[in-house]
Amino acid sequence: MHQFLQQIFSGLAAGSIYASLALALVMIYRATDLVNFAQGEMAMFSTYIAWTLVNAGLPFWLAFLITLVVSFLGGMIIERVVIRPVENAPVLAAVVVTIGLLLIFNSVAGWIYTYTVQDFPSPFPDRPVFGALMTTRDLGVIGVTLLMLVLLFAFFRYTPIGLAMRAAAQNPASARLCGIRVGRMLAIGWGLAAMIGATAGVMVAPVLFLDPNMMGGVLIYAFAGALLGGITSPVGAVVGGLIVGVTENLVGTYLIASQLKLTVAFALIILVLVFRPNGLFGTAIVRRV
Amino acid sequence: MEKRIAAPEILAETPAVPATANGWRWIGIVAIVVIAAALPFGLSKYHVFELTMVMIYAIAVLGLNILTGYNGQISLGHGGFFAVGAYTAAILMHRYGVPYWATLPPAALTGFALGVLFGLPALRFEGPYLALVTLAMALATPQLLKYFDTWTGGQQGINLVKPEPPALLGIDRDRWLYFVVLVVLVLAIRIAANILHGRTGRAFVAIRDHPIAAAAMGINTARYKTLAFGTSTLFTAVAGALAAIVIGYVSPEGYSLFLSVSFLVGSAVGGIATIGGAIVGGFFIQFVPNLANDISDAAPWAIYGLAMLLFMYTMPRGVVGTLWPWVMRFFAARKTAAPFAARRSERA
C-alpha cells in the first residue's frame, strides 16, 4: 500500500511537468489552431540557457527568472519570424515548419552543448516528507506548476491584455475591428507558451538530466495529457497531464515492462479519442457550413 | 532529371491539358522509360543503390500523398507502416524461405489490413489531432519491434540474403533490384493514378475539401476515409518490403520517428496532392540529409530543418504543385498564339 501511494505521488510530480507542457500546447492551439511540434525542443533549449547561467555562477532563482524572460522574447521572435510566413498556408505547411523548427533546435543544442548528458541542479532539497510518501523535490515541482497555473488564470481573467488575447483567439476579425493588435497577441501567446515550456524544462531537468533529446518522451506524454483533457481546455490540460503521469507510473510499476511506456501513452491517446473525442473537459467544436 | 520523371504523370492529372499536349505526353513517357532503363548502366553500383532507394521512398511518399494530399488526413506514423511491410517481408523470407518477390503481396495485404484497422479510430480526429496520434504511433513502433523479439529478432533485427538476379540476364544484383523496384514504382504510379483520377479519387478530394458537402452529396465519408487510409498504407508497406529486400537487413532503429517525419517532409516538399511530387520527395529524403551533412558537419539537422522551412516558405504547395502550372503555361503559350487562348489557359 505504501509503495502504491508512493508511486501515485511521484506520478503526480511527473504529471505536473507533463501538465505544464500540455498547457503550453493548449495555449498555442487555442490561439492559432496550430499544434507546435517544437514545443518540447524549445523547452529543452530554454533549460540549456538556465544551465549556462547557473554554471556561470548565478543563483538558481535569478538564472530561472532570466531564462523565463529570454524564453518569452525568444517565443515572440519565433512567432514573428518563423511562423508568421505560413500563417495562411495549408495546415501541412505549418506542421512541417514546426517540425523543421524541432530539428533545428535539437541540432543546434547538440552543436553548442554536445550530446553529453549533463547534471542539472535542483532548486529543492531532496528530503522525504509525509512519512516518505513523497520528497520535497516532488512537492516543489507540483507547487511551481500550481503557482504558474494560478498566475496564468489570473492573467487571462483579470488583466486587459489577457482579455485582448482571449478575444483575438476567439474571433480574430472582430477583435481586430475593436482595435486589438491580433498579430501582437499571437506573438505574446507564443512567448507565454515558451515561458511555460521553459518552466517545465527546468523542473524536469534534475530528474531526467539534461541532453538535447530529453524532451522527446515528455512531449508525447504532454500531448497525451492535452488530448485527454481536451485540447481546447487549459484546466483539462493540467488534469490530463496529471492523469497521464500517474497512469504512466502505475502501469510501468505494476503491469508491463517500462520499455513499453511510450506505447502505453499511445494506447491511452487512442482510447480517449475513441470514447471521448473532445477529451474530458474539451468542448466540441461546432463548424458552420 | 527528377522533373522529367515527374512530368507525364502530372500531365495526366491536370484536366485542363489541351489535346495537342497528348503528343508531348507520349514523347515524355518514352524518353523517361528509356532514360530510367539506361541509367543503371552508366552509374556506379552505389549510385544505382541510391536511386533504388529514391524510388522506394517515392512509393512510400506516394502512399502518404494519397492519404494526406488527396484525403486531407495528416499522418506522422507512416514509418510504422513502412516497418510493417519490411518486417512482413523479412519474417517471410527468413523464417519460411519465401522467395523475395512473393513477399510483396502479403506485405501489401498486411499494410492494407492494418491501415483499415487504424483508419477506423482515425475517423474520429482531424488535422493536428491525427498528426499527434500517428506521431505517438511512430514513437511506439521501435519499442514494439524490440518487445516482440521472438518474431522480430529484437534489437539485433533480421539479416536477409540478398536475392540473386536471373542468370541469363547477366546483370549484377544491385542493377537487377533497381529494375525490380522500377517496375513496382511504375505499377504503383499507374494504380494510384487510376484510383485518384476516378470516382474514388474524386470522393477522396471531395471529403478533403468539404466533408459536410461531400456527405450531403451521398459520399459515404467513413468508408472512403478508411479506404484512403488502407490504400495509403498498402503502398507504404510495399515500399517497406522492397526496402527490406534491397537493404537486406531490418532492425528497430531503422524505423524511428525520423523516418515518418521524412515521409511527411518529402511529401510536403514534393507537392502533397500530386503524383510526381512523390518522386521529388524520394530524392529529398535520400539526398538532402547527406547534402546537409556536407554543408555542416556539426549541425546537419539544423541545415535539414532550414531546408524544410525554405521549401515551405517559397513553395507552400510543394515543388511540383508550385512549378507545374508554370510549365503548363509555357507549353500552352507556345502552341496557341491567339491572345484569347493564352488568357484562358492562364486562368486554368
- At residue B336, the pLDDT reads 52
Binding-face residues of B in 95-124 toward A, CB within 8 A: 121, 124
**Nearest chain B residue (CA) to A277:** B124
Kindly state whether A213 is in contact with chain B, defined as any CB-CB distance less than 8 angstroms: no
State pLDDT tens for residues A200-232. Answer: 888 888 877 788 888 877 888 888 888 888 777
Selecting from A91, A93, A103 the residue whose C-beta is nearest the C-beta of B302 gives A103
Q: What is the ipTM of this complex?
A: 0.77
Binding-face residues of B in 192-221 toward A, CB within 8 A: 212-213
Across A168-190, b (16+ Cβ under 10 Å) vs e yields bbeebeebeeeebebebbbbbbb
State pLDDT tens for residues B247-305. Answer: 988 988 888 888 998 999 899 888 878 888 899 999 999 998 888 888 877 778 888 88
State pLDDT tens for residues B294-311. Answer: 887 777 888 888 888 888
Q: Say which CATH number the domain at B137 has.
A: 1.10.3470
Choosing among A80, A95, A275, which should be mutated to test the B contact, i.e. which has the most B CBs within 10 A?
A95
Cell of A109: 543544442
Choosing among B309, B310, B314, which should be mutated to test the A contact, i.e. which has the most A CBs within 10 A?
B309
Give pLDDT < 50 ranges for chain A. Answer: none
Cβ atoms of B120 and B226 closer than 8 Å: yes
Cell of B3: 522533373
**Nearest chain A residue (CA) to B296:** A111
Residue B7, pLDDT above cutoff 60: no
Domain boundaries, chain A: 2-275
Looking at every residue in chain B, the average pLDDT score rounds to 82
* The domain defined by A2-275 carries CATH number 1.10.3470: yes
Choosing among B68, B132, B269, B274, which should be mutated to test the A contact, i.e. which has the most A CBs within 10 A?
B132
Residue B45, pLDDT above cutoff 80: yes
Kindly state whether B315 is in contact with chain A, defined as any CB-CB distance less than 8 angstroms: no
Kindly state whether B284 is in contact with chain A, defined as any CB-CB distance less than 8 angstroms: no
How far B40 CA sits from the closest chain A CA (Å)?
33
Residue B100, pLDDT above cutoff 60: yes
State pLDDT tens for residues B136-175. Answer: 788 888 888 888 877 887 778 888 888 877 777 777 888 8
Give the span between the Cα atoms of A77 and A134, in whole angstroms: 39
**Nearest chain A residue (CA) to B307:** A100
| Contact assignment for B312 to A106 by CB distance below 8 Å | no
- At residue B21, the pLDDT reads 61
How far A230 CA sits from the closest chain B CA (Å)?
11
Question: Who wins on pLDDT, A284 or B99?
Answer: B99
Taken in order A153, A157, A160, A161, the sign of the CA dihedral is positive
Nearest to A146 by CA among A203, A98, A97, A95: A203
Domain that holds residue B319: 2-347
Question: Who wins on pLDDT, B58 or B141?
Answer: B58
Residue B335, pLDDT above cutoff 60: no
Cβ atoms of A232 and A277 closer than 8 Å: no
Question: Who wins on pLDDT, B275 or B3?
Answer: B275
Task: Say how many domains are in chain B.
Answer: 1
How far A155 CA sits from the closest chain B CA (Å)?
27
* Element (DSSP H or E) covering residue B318: none
Question: Who wins on pLDDT, A11 or B194?
Answer: B194
